[in-house]
Amino acid sequence: MGTHLGSKFIKLYNGYLLPSVGLGTYQLFGDSVREVVDKAIFLGYRHIDTAHSYNNESEIGEILKSRVDSGSIKRRDIFLTTKLPAVLHEPRDVLYCIEESRARLKTKYLDLVLIHNPWTLKPTDSKGGLQFVQFNLQKTWHSLETFVKEGSVKSIGLSNFTIGQIQNILEGCSIMPANLQLECHAYLQQRSLQDFCKARGITLTAYSPLGAHGRPERHRFTDQPVLLDDPALDSLAQAHDKTKAQILLGWLIQRGFCVVPKSKSDDRLAENFDIFDVNLNESELAQIQAMDRGIRYFKFKNMTGHPEFKPTEDF
């Protein structure tokens, strides 16, 4: 079987087109996120990945609105993904969150809303104290479905869910999840989740596709190698006249994933978007497949003990 070039869009089961390269915006705030989003749009990015908890929806909304108002882009050409946080799973909170996100992003509709995590939390005080809560996310899902039916959300999906947790949603849903966002890169290839989702028409978005080497301290563990430093990538980069980052992203696109790399540098933003011509042959694909080591950079260790936190399963 031959290999194929990655596509610029991934078609969701409901017909909407998800641009294969999106802009990750975790840890980008204030003027920095304004500049990065503006530059990314200029470079051709049409998919922005944010979350209620990233505290940057307002700035993203400002830039998009000014670009739409000036006529340089059309709202319908932008794909906006945001995520429902673990503290807002109750139906009344879902309503609040969707309205907030729409207001901050200055948009009539959201293209994709994901349940950010399968674990539900309850604030216990105003200083950030949180309590673990057992909650059936079918209820959260049903509230999300009402927004799809009424038109303010186009597609809904999940993030950091295991196969069992996705199955729970599938059993109770009237609208199927369109997308699963999960940590995925050469060190954590997520093949069982990919097979499961593919068989059910659920598309996949790889977060931390470059190995998240700028992640916060609380997510750093001493035994974790830096993906971009792996020498196995050198010869592939040389052979394709691409950077190691471009090989990692191009490989995911070739596997049919959407990717959402984050960068605050103009050059790296351009680099991360210039990947559609990466075409790895069978032996090169096998070389990257052999890099899988089950290394998860976002371990969510602070969820240990939560009934919905399943660190021994793929998610």
Ligand X SMILES: NC(=O)c1ccc[n+]([C@@H]2O[C@H](COP(=O)([O-])OP(=O)(O)OC[C@H]3O[C@@H](n4cnc5c(N)ncnc54)[C@H](OP(=O)(O)O)[C@@H]3O)[C@@H](O)[C@H]2O)c1
Strand partners, 131: 122
- Our finding on whether 79 is near ligand X (CB under 6 A) is no
Q: Which is nearer to ligand X, 23 or 98 (CB)?
A: 23
CA 34 remoteness from chain centre: 19
- Our finding on whether 19 is near ligand X (CB under 6 A) is no
Three-class secondary structure of residue 132 per DSSP:
strand
Q: Which of 54, 187, 207, 297 does the annotation list as catalytic?
A: 54
- Our finding on whether 168 is near ligand X (CB under 6 A) is no
Please identify, among the stretches 61-69, 163-171, 256-264, 282-290, the one whose residues bind ligand X according to the rule CB under 6 A. 256-264
Q: Where are the beta strands (DSSP E) in the chain?
A: 9-11, 17-19, 23-24, 47-49, 79-84, 110-115, 120-123, 130-133, 153-159, 179-183, 203-207, 258-259
Q: What x-and-dash track marks residues 183-222 binding ligand X by CB under 6 A?
A: ------------------------xxxxxxxxx-------
CB 182 within 8 A of CB 193: yes
SS (H, E, C) 81-108: EEEECCCCCCHHHHHHHHHHHHHHHCCC
Complete DSSP assignment for 21-42: B-EE-TT--HHHHHHHHHHHHH
Give the binding-site size for ligand X (rule: CB under 6 A). Answer: 29
Q: Which is nearer to ligand X, 200 or 264 (CB)?
A: 264
Q: Which amino acid does the sequence have at 220?
A: R
Strand partners, 17: 11
How many angstroms separate the CA atoms of 153 and 109, rounded? 5
Burial class (CB in 10 A: 0-12, 13-18, 19+), 179: buried
Pick one of 107, 120, 143, 160: the residue that binds ligand X (CB under 6 A). Answer: 160
Q: Which of residues 216-255 bind ligand X (CB under 6 A)?
A: 228, 245
- Our finding on whether 272 is near ligand X (CB under 6 A) is yes
- Our finding on whether 176 is near ligand X (CB under 6 A) is no
How many angstroms separate the CA atoms of 181 and 186, rounded? 16
Pick one of 159, 162, 179, 224: the residue that binds ligand X (CB under 6 A). Answer: 159
- Our finding on whether 271 is near ligand X (CB under 6 A) is yes
Pick one of 262, 296, 306, 310: the residue that binds ligand X (CB under 6 A). Answer: 262
Residue 297 bears catalytic tag: no
How many angstroms separate the CA atoms of 31 and 56, rounded? 10
Pick one of 24, 61, 118, 157: the residue that binds ligand X (CB under 6 A). Answer: 24
Please identify, among the stretches 65-73, 87-95, 140-148, 259-267, the one whose residues bind ligand X according to the rule CB under 6 A. 259-267
Q: Which is nearer to ligand X, 72 or 239 (CB)?
A: 239
Residues in the site for ligand X, rule: CB under 6 A? Answer: 24-26, 49, 116, 159-160, 181, 207-215, 228, 245, 260-265, 268, 271-272, 298
- Which are the catalytic amino acids? 54
